[in-house]
Structure 1
Amino acid sequence: MKYMLLVCGDDTNDASGMAPVEPWVEELGDRSVRLHGHRLALPSEAVTVRVRGGEVLRTDGPFAETKEYVAGYDVLDCDSLEEAVEAAARHPVATIGAMEVRPFWPMWEGEDPETAIRALDADLTEAVRERDLDRVLACYAADADVFHLADGHERQGLDAHRKALQDLFASVTGPVTREVLDLRVHVDESIGFAHSLVRLTGTRTDGSPLDDTLRVTTGYRDIGLRRLITHEHAVSLKDLKELKVPGEAR
């Protein structure tokens, strides 16, 4: 079970005698209890954002004027709330401030992250088959880093990927079959990676067959309540065969 540990400091307490945090971080990290975390800047650098009547209202400073503030966070992976509380009690800031322990909301509603990634890939396959450009691009984050090497031409960025898809869909008649020959997924609580072989087949407008197999590496990240593609690197196997290995005898 994942728990968010909010580290709350207190400006009125003397922190000069507080023990260093590094041993706590290292000990829980070695046991794979602490997954990640980070300090936050002071509340004076915060910006509070509200939307009222369609207008964005921005206020410099924290949400509430209080002597206590969130100074950092840690994500813990514990078997129980009691284990998370015990870990929080050993954090040095607990001696001068407070630690808020809160379980993560079950994001996947019973569906594990790997299943969610495979479902997204299946949606991508269906969108390609239907030649639905908007549905394909909906599988990608707006800031996705996409790199494709196709027909010997390098294409980088989501805009170039959109153009490449438009060219592909315009060059064929009927559906484009996207067959995932091998999909290996590696995932944790917030990011994931997949390695796959993807075969694209169809019929070009001039009657010739489309048949290309790509080696694809894909990175995923949580965007709101959904994982989206944030990195994709695809190379045609035809291009890989033509690449010369440095030092290789000719």
Structure 2
Amino acid sequence: MKYMLLVCGDDTADASGMAPVEPWVEEHGVRRGDRLYGHRLRLPDRAVTVRVRDGEVLRTDGPFAETKEYVAGFDVVDCDSLEAAVRIAAAHPVATIGAMEVRPFWDEGLTEDAETAVRRLDAELTEAARARDVDRLTACYAPDVETFGATGREVRSGIGALRKAAEAWFATLTGPVDREVLELRVRPGEGSTFSHALVRIRGTRVSGEPLDRVVRVTTGYRDTGFSWLIAHEHVSVPLEGERS
């Protein structure tokens, strides 16, 4: 299970005798593999606190609360139990002068793993194409998605541009659109994931001509914390006779 370790510094503590953090990172990140990633944070005087009240965005320079203790960084660990996460936190040098808050991630049983999410989104794209449902299709994408068309001449930024392109494309076709995935390879990652696919698109143009094209699709997905969404999509046409 994954745990977030919030590294809490104390601006009144004397850190001169604190052991360096690098050996802890080496031990738990490289040797043991418990630490997945982490980073230091700037001091609280660089923070910005954001609130929204009655539709108005209220921005305050500085931390959420005035306190001598502050979050100085974070680490994400993956271990078997809370007790194991506590032992890892206790070995962190900052624990000797500040504090380490250990908090489990939201129950992973309620969320999809990366590969399951990718395959679900891909199936949703197939059903959306068959139904020519633009709303259903765009729901699979992040608001700031960037997409690259098969011609390579156009880069579309944002969900609005994607929606307009999808509507224009569906307008050139009549009847259902058949989207057949010939090959799908998923490269799971932490927080982001990529897939590579060969997709066959078949349909009928409004002129009556048949459409039958195989395209290569490279897709980047982002874990929003609640679901996975497509953040990047690049469609290209394979060379003649190429299938992989």
What TM-score do you get using the length of structure 1 for normalisation?
0.88
Q: CA deviation at 1:2?
A: 0.5
Q: CA deviation at 1:161?
A: 4.4
Identity value in percent: 66
1:7 is aligned to 2:7: yes
Contact 2:5–2:74 at 8 Å: present in 1 too?
yes
Counterparts of 1:73-88 in structure 2 under 5 Å? Answer: 73-88=74-89
Q: CA deviation at 1:139?
A: 1.4
Q: CA deviation at 1:108?
A: 5.7
Q: Which runs of 5+ in 2 are unaligned?
A: none
List, as ranges, runs of 4+ consecutive aligned residues in structure 1 with deviation greater than 6 Å: none
Q: Which residue identity is paired with 2:36? A: L
Q: Which residue identity is paired with 2:227? A: R
Contact 1:107–1:225 at 8 Å: present in 2 too?
no
Count of matched residue positions in the alignment of Structure 1 and Structure 2: 239
Q: Which residue identity is paired with 1:154? A: R
Closer, same or farther in 2 for the Cα pair 1:13/1:95, shift >3 Å? same
Q: CA deviation at 1:21?
A: 0.8
1:21 is aligned to 2:21: yes
Once the two structures are overlaid, the 10-residue window that deviates more, 122-131 or 76-85, is 122-131
Closer, same or farther in 2 for the Cα pair 1:115/1:218, shift >3 Å? same
Helix, strand or coil for the counterpart of 1:149? coil
Helix, strand or coil for the counterpart of 1:241? coil
Once the two structures are overlaid, the 10-residue window that deviates more, 179-188 or 78-87, is 179-188
Helix, strand or coil for the counterpart of 1:207? coil
Helix, strand or coil for the counterpart of 2:110? coil
What TM-score do you get using the length of structure 2 for normalisation?
0.90
Aligned to 1:66: 67
Q: Which runs of 5+ in 1 are unaligned?
A: 244-250
1:39 is aligned to 2:40: yes
Q: CA deviation at 1:49?
A: 1.5
Aligned to 1:113: 114
- Per-residue CA distance 1:161-214 (angstroms, 9 max, x = gap): 444423321111101111111112222342111111111100111111111111
Helix, strand or coil for the counterpart of 2:199? strand
Give the superposed CA RMSD. Answer: 2.0
Aligned to 1:246: none
Once the two structures are overlaid, the 10-residue window that deviates more, 171-180 or 52-61, is 52-61
Q: Which residue identity is paired with 2:74? A: Y
